[in-house]
Structure 1
Amino acid sequence: MSIAGGRAREGDSRLRDVAVPGALLAMFVGLGLCWVLAAPDGPEALAVPSTVAVGATVLLIGLGASPGLGLEPSVRLMGVAGGLWFVAALVSAWLRTADQAGESPTSVTVGQFADTVGAGAPELVALVAAALVVGVVAAQLTGRIDPPATIFAILAGIGLLALSITGHPSQQAMGPVLVGAHALAAAWWCGTLAAMVVTIRGRNGWASALPIFSARALWAVVVIAATGVIAGLIEVGGVANLLDSGYGRILLAKVIGMAALVALGARHRARWVPAVTRHRAPEATSIRLAVAELVVMAVVLGLAVGLSTTAP
C-alpha cells in the first residue's frame, strides 16, 4: 500500500527498514534473559536456531494475514523469510540429532540426521513447509502462479504448531491445544504488526489498517493471556513454584513482559489509534510507536522460545 499523506522522514524510513532485523535481535535478548534466569539449567542449544525459525514464521503469518487489513505484502520478503526459516529448521534438526545421539554437532553423520528427521522430528514439518514457501514464491515471481497470500500464513502456522506443541507441552492432555492456540494468536499479533511496519506507506495507510488491527488484536490478547496463564501454571505446578525453578523464573519474566506489552498496547489503543483515525498522527510517529511495540513483543517472543526449550 502506498498512499500519500504525512510521509516519513529519511531517518524514520531507515527505522522501518531495520525494524525486522531489530526485532530478531530483540528476540535474542529475550532468549539471553532465559539463560540468565535459568542458569545453569537454561534453554537447550537448539533454542538459538529455533528463535530464528519462530521469527521467520511469525513474520510469514503476519505478511500472509496482512491482506485482511487491505495491505499488499512483499512476495520477495516472504521468500527471504521462508529461506531463513528453512536454514534455521535444518540447523535445529542437526542439533536435535546431536543431542539424541549424545555427540557433538560436528560428529553427526548424514545418516544419523536422516534417521532423526525421518523418525518424526518437528523440524521435518518445518523443512517441508519452508521449502513449499520458497517454491511458491519462486513460481510467483516468475509469473507461473498467483496464489493468495494466506497460503504463506497457513504454511507458517503449520510449521509453528509442529514446533510449539511438541516436547513437554505434549505430555499434558490439554497442553497441545493451549500452547497451539497461544502460539498462533501471538504470531498473528506480532507478525501482523511487523507486516504493517514494513508494508504501509503514508499516513492514510495507517489510518486504514491500524483501527482494524487494533480491534482484532484485542481478541488475540485475550487468547494469549488465557491460554498462557493456564498452560504455564499446569507446567510449573502452581504459583508457589514460580521461583523454585529456571522454568518458573522464565515464565514469571514472560508474564511480566506480557503485562508490560498489554499496558503499552492499551496506551496506544487509547491515544495512537484515535489520532491515526482522525489523520492527526504523521507516518513517522506511527512508525516509531509501532517499532517500539514490536521490539517489546520480540523480547517476549524470545522468552517464549527459551521457555519452550527449558525443562519444567
Structure 2
Amino acid sequence: MSRRLAALLGALCVAGAAALALALGSPASSLVRAVCDVAAVVTLGLVVVPALDVERYRDELAARAARPLVLVSALWTVAELVRLVVGAAEAAGWSAARVGVRTTVAFATDTEVGRAGLVCLSAALVVCVVALSSPRGTRPSSAPGVLAVGAAAIGVAGRSLVGHLSESPLGGMAVAVHALAAAAWCGVLAGLVLVVTHRGRWARVLPRFSQMSSWCVAVLLVFGVVGAAVTLTSPTDLYGTQYGRVLTAKVVVTVVLVVLAARNRAGWLPAARSHRATVDVSRSRSRVELAVMAIALTLAAALAVTG
C-alpha cells in the first residue's frame, strides 16, 4: 500500500506541475518528457540505493529493490518510446496518431533530438534487461550493477545535452552535471521510500544519504546557476519570456525543497540515527520531500522543451 500511495502522490504532483508549466507557456509534450525524466530518476535511485547500506545488508537491499527496478525501468522504456513518437509527430506537424514506424525511425536517426531520444531509450532498455536478468537484485559494485548505473546515468544526462544549452560547451556540461546531481538526490530518496521497511535500516542508510545529498545539492545549485547564466540574456527574461517564467517557478520550488531538506537534516536525521523515528515518520518525511522533488523535476522537464 505504501508503494501505491507514493506512486499516486508522485503522479498527482507531476500532473499538477505539468499543468502549471502549460499555464506558463510550456508545450504539451512537457508532460511526456516529465514522465520520462521522473522514471529515469527513480531508476537511477533504485540501482544506487543498495550502496547506502552497510556491506552485510547490501544484498538484501538489492533484492528488495529488484522488483521495483523492473517496473520503473519498464515504465521508463515505454515512456521513452512514446516520447520518440510524440517528437516525430511534432517534427512532422502531425498528430501522434498519424505517425507511423517509418516516420519515427527517420526522426530517431536523422535528427539531433531524435538521436538523443534513441540513446535514452537504449539506456532504459539496458537497465530493464539487467533488472529482468537479475531477479535477486544487483549491487552497484557488481558488473551488472555497474552497467545499470552507467546506463541510467547516460539516460538521465543524454537528453540534457540537446536543446537550449547544446550549442554551448559550458552550458551543455553545466546542464548535464546539474541533471545528474538532481537525479542522484531525488532518485535515491525515492528508492529508499520504496525499499526501506524498518527503522534499523533507516538508521543506517539515512546518514549516508544525507551526506550524499549535501554534495548533490551543492553541485546542482552551482551548475544550475551556470546553466541559467549561459541561457538568459537579461534578468528581465525571468518574467518576460516563457522559458524564464518556467525557470523562475523551478527556482522557487528548488528553494522550498532545499529549505525542507535542511529542516529534515536538523530534525529527522538525528531522530532516525538514534532509532527514535518510526518507519511511518521516516516515510512521511520522505514523501513530503519527494512530492516537492516531483514538482521540481516536472518543471525541469518543461524547461527543457520550452522555447
User: What's the TM-score once normalised by structure 1's chain length?
Assistant: 0.88
Amino acid at match of 2:70: G
Residue 100 of structure 2 corresponds to residue 125 of structure 1: no
Name the Cα RMSD after superposition: 1.9
Amino acid at match of 1:49: V
Q: Select 1:27's aligned residue among 5, 14, 17.
A: 14
Partner of 2:248: 252
For 1:149, what is the secondary structure of its paired residue?
Answer: helix
Residue 236 of structure 2 corresponds to residue 240 of structure 1: yes
Work out which structure has the larger RCO, using CA pairs closer than 8 Å and 6 or more positions apart in sequence: 1
Q: Distance in 1 between matches of 2:12 and 2:175?
A: 24
The structure with the largest helix share of the pair is 2
List, as ranges, runs of 4+ consecutive aligned residues in structure 1 with deviation greater than 4 Å: none
Aligned length: 293
Deviation at 1:168, TM superposition (A): 1.4
- C-alpha contact (below 8 Å) 1:140/1:147 kept by paired residues: no
Deviation at 1:142, TM superposition (A): 9.2
Partner of 1:183: 179
* Structure 1 stretches lacking a partner, 5+ long: 1-13
Q: Select 1:293's aligned residue among 281, 289, 293.
A: 289
For 1:310, what is the secondary structure of its paired residue?
Answer: coil
- What are the superposed Cα offsets for residues 93-135 of structure 1, whole Å, 9 maximum, x if unpaired? 1111111112222222221111111225111112212222222
Q: Distance in 1 between matches of 2:295 and 2:129?
A: 31
Percent identity over the alignment is 35
Amino acid at match of 1:139: S
Partner of 2:135: 141
Residue 152 of structure 2 corresponds to residue 156 of structure 1: yes
For 1:239, what is the secondary structure of its paired residue?
Answer: coil
Q: Distance in 1 between matches of 2:33 and 2:126?
A: 19
Q: Select 1:49's aligned residue among 29, 32, 38.
A: 32
- C-alpha contact (below 8 Å) 2:68/2:194 kept by paired residues: no
Distance 1:17 1:86, change over 3 A: same
- What are the superposed Cα offsets for residues 253-309 of structure 1, whole Å, 9 maximum, x if unpaired? 111111111100110111110111111111111110011111011111111111111
- C-alpha contact (below 8 Å) 1:189/1:220 kept by paired residues: yes
Residue 69 of structure 2 corresponds to residue 78 of structure 1: yes
* Structure 2 stretches lacking a partner, 5+ long: none
Partner of 1:91: 82
- What are the superposed Cα offsets for residues 14-71 of structure 1, whole Å, 9 maximum, x if unpaired? 3444213422331222221111122xxx23x332221111111101111111122115
Residue 245 of structure 2 corresponds to residue 221 of structure 1: no
Amino acid at match of 1:102: G
Deviation at 1:150, TM superposition (A): 4.0
Residue 105 of structure 2 corresponds to residue 114 of structure 1: yes
Amino acid at match of 1:132: V
For 2:134, what is the secondary structure of its paired residue?
Answer: helix
